[in-house]
Amino acid sequence: MLTQTISPVQKTVSVIPANPKTLREGVRKKKLRVAAYCRVSTDQEEQQSSYQAQIEYYTAKIKANKDWTMAGIFADEGITGTSARKRTEFLKLMKLCERGKVDMVLTKSISRFSRNTLDCLGYIRKLKEKGIPIIFEKEGINTMRMASEMTISLLGSFAQAESESISKNVTWGKRQSFKNGKVTFQYSRFLGYEKGEDGKPKIVPEEATIVKRIYQSYLSGYSIARIKRGLEAEGIPSGTGKKVWSTNAIRYMLQNEKYIGDALLQKTYVTDFLTKKSKKNQGEVPQYYVTGNHEGIISKELFNLVQEEIARRASKRKVSQKATKTEQGKYSSKYALSELLVCGCCGARYRRVTWARNGKKKIVWRCINRLEYGTKYCKVSPTIEEYKLQDAIMKAICGFVEDKDELIDTLEHSLRMALNAEDDTIDTAAIQTRIEELNKVMLDLVELNSRSSASADYFDQKFKEISDERTALQNRLRDHEQRQVIAQNSNARMNELFEILEKANFSLDEYDEALVKQLISKVTVVSAEKIQIAFKGGLEVEQTI
């Protein structure tokens, strides 16, 4: 028998080198579908020419590259870059990218692509996941080759800061015009006035008659809905020329100080430069009241009477659901205490009630929750006789007469001490300079990052250190600005109280409704024997009943 000897097979690995030429030829077979996005943000003539120039530039650039094919030029004209929702062409481009119709996007700079950092990063990530690079020409960035996302985040934040700066400049310009007493009219929607030859509001007699009718009807007891029905029944057109009137428009007319020749400026303000959302100004920013700006249609006396009637009607809350704990019930602002007196137990208002026992009438004040729901929500609120309540309030007010000057000094000192509790002597100019220095350092790092082969972690750490310092300085500036606003508002309230105290006649022996409304912001019933009075300047005192 023959025996075979099997030699072990030696494993070998041979390298078959890649053929770059073949690879390049394969790539050439498919041209890149390249799209460009451009945008200008104003309607100025110079910017419009820039808009056309950008379109022509990208059209020529894409056609000049033999490896590229045109996927489209997408241009938004005269639209803000802070919100993607308002940019229709931008959104079209993004949809095409999502559908795989675009291989690469060209754009001039990050600020042209988006000034909202979150939007910018969101779209970059989406396109990066699909292998679609965005080329930012000004910054020299290809999003598929970035060492770190921190680079684009920082540049995006600069673009957003630029947009915020522009928004602040516009806001500053508006506030300066407010400060200078510049009043604007929307004549096309404003019943009673037209633009005169001198540029000032001019009364339209026929429309002024309608305005006077609305005011007089409301003061006579007509509801806004009834006034609306009457105007529509007679075919009288509204301020916009329509035969159908809006109840909100009538309400706005009844409260518009422009009808007495005055103007309150900055009734609203923008809360977010990104969304452009506005909010009713309730003391957050300064307001400016212009007196005698133009000829009035309504007398100031009639206007003030209408405002009082509006307040009186608004103070009447409908009792609809017994199970609502926050229900305040009906009350009348005919009496100052209807608006000021609250229960220390449940926080509801007190109501004026007439008791009739054994043929005798007695006026008392009771908690509305206690009246409407028994002891369900309020168990211990006391009933207080009106004359005792009024006597206690007048005693507290007349207590000022003992040493009014000392009280004013004490109030003034306390408020200023509270406002200056934190060190408010910061050098805002120095902080702003430092922030600008940090911005420059960040930009230098971004440029270095795009050219360096160093790891992303190194640049991330440097970016974080600078970003943290910059954020801390920005927060310090913002806190300083907020304290300044608080100081202005507090000083205004303090001065108002001092002026009333200086003019007040403290020799009065009888309860004075007008004086109570002027001086007091709130009266809390603590117990059957004690109330707490909060004055408009911030002073609070307890007074026995």
User: Same domain, yes or no, for 252 and 299?
Assistant: yes
81 or 340: whose pLDDT is higher? 340
DSSP 17-51: ---HHHHHHHHHTS-EEEEEEEEE----HHHHHHH
Token representation of residue 9:
């097979």
Least confident of 276-280, 306-310, 479-483: 276-280
Gap between the Cα atoms of 320 and 327, Å rounded: 8
Q: Which residues pair with 541 in a beta bridge?
A: 533
Q: Where are the beta strands (DSSP E) in 47-99?
A: 68-77
Burial class, 245, CB count within 10 angstroms (exposed 0-12 / middle 13-18 / buried 19+)? buried
Average pLDDT (530-542) is 82
Q: Check whether residue 414 and residue 489 sit in a common domain.
A: yes
Residue 145 lies in a domain: yes
What's the pLDDT tens digit per position in 381-403?
999 999 999 999 988 887 765 65
**Same domain as 198, residue 80:** no
Q: 205 and 263: one domain? A: yes
Output the CA torsion 118→121→125→127 (10° steps).
Answer: 110
* Partners of residue 520 on adjacent β-strands: 535
Do 148 and 250 fall within a single domain? no
Residue 293's Cβ-count burial label (10 Å; 0-12, 13-18, 19+) is buried
377 within domain boundaries: no
Full residue range of the structural domain in which residue 107 is found: 28-155
Instruction: Measure the CA–CA gap between 422 and 426, rounded to whole angstroms.
Output: 11
Helical H segments across 364-455, by residue range: 368-373, 386-398, 404-419, 428-451
Position 82 scores a pLDDT of: 44
Q: How far apart are CA 459 and CA 457, in angstroms?
A: 6
pLDDT band of 228, cuts 50, 70, 90: very high
Share of the chain above pLDDT 90, in %: 23
Same domain, 192 and 144: no
State whether 151 and 213 are in the same domain: no
Residue 2 lies in a domain: no
| Rg of the chain on CA atoms, in Å | 35
Domain assignment of residue 545, yes or no: no
Residues 146 and 200 grouped into a single domain: no
Report how far residue 379's alpha carbon sits from residue 384's, in angstroms, rounded to the nearest whole number: 15
**pLDDT 10s digits, 66-91:** 999 999 999 887 554 444 456 788 99
List, in sequence order, every residue forming a beta bridge with 532; answer none if it has no partner: 524, 542
Residue 81 pLDDT: 42
Q: What is the pLDDT of residue 184?
A: 74
User: Out of 77-91, 125-139, 331-345, 523-537, which region has the weakest mean confidence (pLDDT)?
Assistant: 77-91
Q: What is the domain count for the chain? A: 3
113 and 201 co-located in one domain: no
On the question of pLDDT at 322 being above 90, the answer is no
**pLDDT above 90 (res 34):** yes
Q: Tokens 């006034």, residue?
A: 227
Instruction: Write down the residue that tokens 């890649």 correspond to.
Output: 18
Residues 38, 125 within the same domain: yes
Instruction: Identify which of 274, 247, 252 has the alpha carbon closest to the alpha carbon of residue 264.
Output: 252
Q: For a pLDDT cut of 70, what percent of the chain falls above it?
A: 63
Compute the half-sphere exposure of residue 456: CA atoms within 13 Å on the CB side of its CA.
Answer: 8
- Terminal alpha carbon distance of the chain: 131
* pTM (2 d.p.): 0.37
Mean pLDDT of 91-97: 93
Write the DSSP symbol of residue 12: -
- Residue-wise pLDDT for 167-181, tens only, equals 444 444 444 554 555
Query: What are the contacts of 52-58 at 24+ separation with CB within 8 A?
Result: 54/108, 58/106
Residue 113: the pLDDT is 75
Which residues make Cβ contacts (< 8 Å) with residue 370, sequence separation at least 6? 343, 378, 381
In a domain, 7, yes or no: no
Angle at 522 between CA 516 and CA 525, to 5 degrees: 105
Q: Which two tokens stand for residue 108?
A: 């001039």
**Alpha helices (H) along 243-299:** 247-254
Residue 249: exposure state from Cβ atoms within 10 A (0-12, 13-18, ≥19): middle
The enclosing H or E element of 421 equals: none
Q: Which residue has the higher pLDDT, 355 or 276?
A: 355
Considering 107, 132, 155, which residue would you say is the last residue of a domain? 155
Helical H runs in 243-382? 247-254, 300-314, 336-340, 368-373
CB contact burial 158-170 (16+ within 10 A = b; e otherwise): bbbbebeebbeee
Instruction: Tell whether 431 is covered by a domain.
Output: yes
Q: Give the pLDDT confidence score for residue 333 in this predicted structure.
A: 46
What CATH number is associated with residue 58? Answer: 3.40.50.1390
Helix ranges restricted to H, 220-333: 224-233, 247-254, 300-314
How much is the pLDDT for 188? 81
Q: Is residue 358 part of a domain?
A: no
Q: Is 68 exposed, middle or buried, given 0-12, 13-18 or 19+ CB atoms closer than 10 A?
A: middle
pLDDT winner (highest mean) among 13-17, 113-117, 151-155, 226-230: 226-230
User: In this structure, are residues 58 and 66 in contact, taking their beta carbons and an 8 Å threshold?
Assistant: no
At which of 258, 291, 314 does a domain end? 314
- Cα→Cα distances 287→129, 177, 252, 265, 504, Å: 50, 12, 18, 6, 27
Residue 66 resides in a domain: yes
116 and 203 assigned to the same domain:
no
pLDDT band at 487 (very low <50, low <70, confident <90, very high): low
Tell me the CATH number at 288: 3.90.1750.20
Are residues 145 and 43 located together in one domain of the fold? yes
Q: How much is the pLDDT for 448? A: 74
Max Cα-Cα span within the chain: 142
Domain boundary (107, 139, 155) is at 155
User: What integer pLDDT is reported at residue 274 of this predicted model?
Assistant: 38
